[in-house]
Chain A
Amino acid sequence: MEKVIEVRHLVKKFGSFTANDNLNFDVYQGEIFGFLGANGAGKTTAMRILCGLSSPTSGEVKVSGYDIYKETEKIKRNIGYMSQKFSLYEDLTIAENIRFFSGIYGITPKNRKAKQEVLLKNLDIESSKDSLIGSLPLGWKQKLAFSVAIFHDPKIVFLDEPTSGVDPITRRKFWDLIYEATDRGITVFVTTHYMDEAEYCNRVSIMNDGRIEALDTPENLKKKYSAKNMDEVFLKIAR
């Protein structure tokens, strides 16, 4: 299978502090890769590097085939990003947000119109396209933010705690969207503090003190740590 992310001997230091200590892993096309770890374990640092926002101290990293040192602009064009905190502009309408992000990613107006129609139809919000984002329920905003994050058909989408703070039904509906995206061949790289969501990933890595302590399918991790669920696996590794 095609590797969408390749990380070899990734080290990132801030002064004397080592945030990422020799990370090695691959992420394959179309998989849902869960990136877990305690607060301060080094997840955000690694994710910023993968998104081309920060350079490693040493090591080799390729994201959708591009080199993290020399080709960060190409990387940014080929990835999508969404978090609970940064999503859409609240004081723009749905259509305006789509136009804005299309412009950033260089999607032609003609192309945009066709894609926008599909997006609005899929989310069943055609009649609300001129509503301000700020006026929408949180569940809608989140679905829309995800759809906009993959609007330019990136190979991979990074989701940073996308479901924090939403109700349990909305949280599950959001995972339906993630599955649909992987059906289209998009690779999903996701962080979460909900351990039940770790079960929905194809593979999961767990970081602790800057290192990846475990990386496998949820099934194999549970066997290896003789745990009945991912919560127990996490507690055993991170405590």
Chain B
Amino acid sequence: MISIHHISKSYSDVQAVRDISLEVKNGELFGLIGPDGAGKTTLMRILMTLLIQDEGTASMGGFDVIKDYKKIRNMTGYMPGRFSLYQDLTVEENLNFFATVFKTTVAENYDLIRDIYIQIEPFKKRLAGKLSGGMKQKLALSCALIHKPEILILDEPTTGVDAVSRKEFWEMLKKLQQKGITILVSTPYMDEAMLCNRVALMQKGEILDIDTPQKLVENYTRKLYAIKSDDMHRLIQDLRSYEKTDSAYAFGQFLHVTGKEDEVEATEFENYLLKKDHPGLQVFDIVPGIEDVFMELLQEQ
């Protein structure tokens, strides 16, 4: 459904996207995962025909992003990273405006947006600029869907959004996917990768790896330990100064630790830390998450 071949794009002296190729299948929920500066927005803008690539080709639903840009604009919905609806129009006026631009009506495609729009309908007479963050997000999604697109492109829809609203937003995306829409979504939150069918892990304009999140985690072959003590700050310092430690990073209430050459056993870490007098010490094997995988890929670079 989305096809990207060797796309590169530079802005004066910064290479934003470097020789990227990937395919998104029909009906797939595909995630671009990476921090600021990874090239996610540039890639999405090229697909949305808002920016022209320096090199490579890309197509959406079989249409070329340069030659057939008008066709692509009619069949895709786009939610940019920055709220870009009309702040001085009401909720209802914004929705009607976007429906009219795409030569349709709100009534015609209401089914598609009902679940989302119903939550902001009580405020339909309110100016879009006066909505809370969560409501703006729902309005933007409704407007992106009002012409019944086949492909939906969402640029960091959950950045700066609290954990509860993020969860609700992903539930909405899953429902849209079930209605047959192909979705390409970007996010800097590693935990959201697990909610996608497949993901591309990106950094500095390049793709580090592409696969299902499950496969990415399975392919992580290093021995990973979770370590905890009553003094976490000293624990991390002690582990980093231990010659057998390869990496030690905080992961919520534990540290995730790898040993040099993966030859360090849990008992070795334990004995070393017991000598350092750590009360409440716990050391055990742990299954890696997508964030461990991403960090390992960053370190290899």
A138, B35: Cβ atoms under 8 Å? yes
Q: Residues of B contacting A3 with CB < 8 Å?
A: none
Bound CA–CA A89/B175 (angstroms): 43
Give the A interface residue count (CB, 8 A).
Answer: 34
Q: Is B233 an interface residue when CB atoms closer than 8 A count as contact?
A: yes
Stretch at the interface among A54-62, A99-107, A118-126, A195-203: A195-203
Report yes or no: A168 in contact with B133, Cβ–Cβ below 8 A. no
Tell me if B251 and A165 are in contact (CB < 8 A).
Answer: no
- Looking at A72-80, A90-98, A145-153, A228-236, the stretch in contact with chain B turns out to be A228-236
A229 near B35: Cβ-Cβ < 8 Å: no
- Give how many A-B residue pairs fall within 8 Å (CB-CB): 84
Q: Which residues in chain A, 155-214, are within 8 Å of chain B measured between CB atoms?
A: 161, 164-170, 172, 175-176, 179, 183, 193-196, 199-200
Q: How far is B133's CA from A40's CA once the two chains are assembled, in angstroms? A: 8
Report how many residues on chain B are interfacial, defined by Cβ distance under 8 Å.
33
Task: From the candidates A40, A138, A168, A176, name the one contacting B291 in the complex (CB within 8 A).
Answer: A168
Separation in Å of the A164 CB from the closest CB of chain B?
Answer: 6
Distance in angstroms between the alpha carbons of A167 and B208 in the assembled complex: 13
**A234/B163 contact (C-beta < 8 A), A199-B253, A200-B250 known:** yes
Contacting pair B163 A229 (CB below 8 A): no
Q: Does B78 contact A (CB under 8 A)?
A: no
Listed stretches B51-59, B141-149, B154-162; interface member: B154-162
Residues of B within 8 A of A196 (CB): 250-252
Q: How many Å lie between the Cα of A166 and that of B236 in the bound state?
A: 21
**A49 close to B (CB within 8 Å):** no
Residue A218 interfacial (CB < 8 Å): yes
Q: Check if B62 is an interface residue, CB within 8 A of chain A.
A: no
B164: CB under 8 A from chain A? yes
Residue on A nearest B163 in the bound complex, by CB: A234
Task: Return chain B residues, CB-CB under 8 Å to A199.
Answer: 250, 252-253
* Set of chain B residues within 8 Å of A137, measured between Cβ atoms: 37
Whether the Cβ atoms of A195 and B37 lie closer than 8 Å is no
Q: Which residues of B contact A70 (CB under 8 A)?
A: none
Q: Which residues of B sit under 8 angstroms from A170, Cβ to Cβ?
A: 35
Residues of B within 8 A of A229 (CB): 252-253
A-B contact pairs, 13 of them (CB 8 A): A39-B133, A41-B162, A164-B159, A164-B188, A167-B298, A168-B190, A168-B291, A175-B250, A179-B233, A193-B163, A194-B189, A200-B250, A229-B253
> Could you give, for residues 276-301 of chain B, a 1 whenever the CB lies within 8 Å of some chain A CB and a 0 otherwise?
00000000000000010011001100
Confirm or deny: B132 has a beta carbon within 8 angstroms of a beta carbon on chain A. Answer: yes
Q: A-B pairs with the 8 shortest C-beta distances? A: A167-B35, A196-B252, A165-B36, A199-B252, A38-B162, A39-B133, A199-B253, A40-B132
